[in-house]
Amino acid sequence: MAPAAALAVDYQKRLGDFELDVRLEVGAETLVLFGPSGSGKTTTLNAIAGLVTPGAGEIVLDGATLFRRGRPGPVVDVPARRRRIGYVFQSYALFPHLSALENVAYALWRKEGARDRSQELLERVHLSHVAHLYPRELSGGQQQRVALARALAADPRVLLLDEPFSALDAAVRERLQRDMRALQTELGQVMLYVTHRLEDAFALGHRLAVVRDGRVAQVGSIEDVLRRPANRAVAQIMGIRNLLRARILAADAQGLRLDWEGLTLEAPPQLAAIGAEVIAYIRPEAVKIIYPDRPLAGALEQNLADGTIVENLPGAGFHIAHVLLENGLDLEVRYPSHAYATLRLERGARIRLALRRDALIVLPESPANPASASFPE
């Protein structure tokens, strides 16, 4: 069961012709804001931090109102410095003329024991040995950890991270992600993390909020959003392959029958209108290559399609094949590198595919998960 909401965000803001209307509830967890550039993710962090003033709405943290305008009750706008919100910017935003220790201590200006507390935080992020160095003398990963220590210095109730790992190499990024997840678990903080990399979302997040055109299009566990996107737009943002536009031929308790440009496909049962056009998808790993000289397994007896390989690209432990079907449309197929060794899976080869019936997902055209989403039951 999801934790009780600690941070409730409900705000609207117009930026030229762009209108943001964001509603979120976050508990003691890491919520990933995921979506394309310009969708409103960073503006949402800035509104929570008090760096951007919404046109209307309400932001509440642990029962205390940080911002209110255009809602019942008095107008409230708590200054950024009094919100106890830590912020790690994409650029780290360290002071170049201050050492690592002094950068962390800046958040504790004039507080008793500031130097000792700053040293403790640098030790926590494994940087006590570079406390005397300046930002220009630190690596990107070290600068990121100094910025994190500075964000933690004021004992924040919320930690905001705006793509802080985007400039780091893979090994450093993975290590810091593990550290961040362990830190969130230890402190039990509310953490919002902005990224457009799905790998980062899996590494750090507990839940995912897909942001599109200034609104939350879907929110839920990362696995649920990936496997059951609310609509075509969410599927595209998530990078889901093999989106199919089809027409419903039949619908009953046994399942759906679809016409995909002359190819008849079967899908699991769901509420649908006969004759309606729908968007469906199937993940590349659920498209199976058929051995021509072997009997078909029960799960692969439906949704057979013939085609020609137009491209086959090797990856780390897998291959991705693009297949042009006889109806003129294409499918992406992903399979382990060690599989199908006896087949000639090269460009120009003719193959037969099976689109697993249980993996063919039909999407609603309108969002099934509203922008005012909160915790799922």
**Domains of the chain, earliest start first:** 7-84+156-236 (3.40.50.300), 243-284+300-363 (2.40.50.100)
Average pLDDT, stretch 50-62? 96
**Residue 166 in this model has a pLDDT that exceeds 90:** no
* Tokens describing residue 351: 């193959």
Please give the pLDDT value at position 271.
82
Give the mean pLDDT of 84-94.
Answer: 88
pLDDT of 376 over the 50 cut: no
Average pLDDT of the residues in 147-155:
89
pLDDT-based confidence at residue 2 (cuts at 50, 70, 90): very low
Report the pLDDT value the prediction gives residue 172, as an integer from 0 to 100.
Answer: 77
Q: Is the pLDDT of residue 121 over 70?
A: yes
> Residue 1: pLDDT above 70?
no
Token match 């924040």: residue?
A: 156
- When pLDDT is averaged across residues 77-81 and rounded to a whole number, the result is 95
In angstroms, what CA-CA distances link 263 with 166, 247, 249, 258, 326? 42, 11, 11, 8, 9
> Which pLDDT score, from 0 to 100, does residue 14 have?
93
pLDDT score at 241: 86
Higher local confidence (pLDDT), 331 or 93: 331
Give the pLDDT confidence score for residue 201 in this predicted structure: 86
Using pLDDT thresholds of 50, 70 and 90, give the confidence band for residue 32. Answer: very high
* 216 band by pLDDT with thresholds 50, 70 and 90: very high
pLDDT at 340: 87
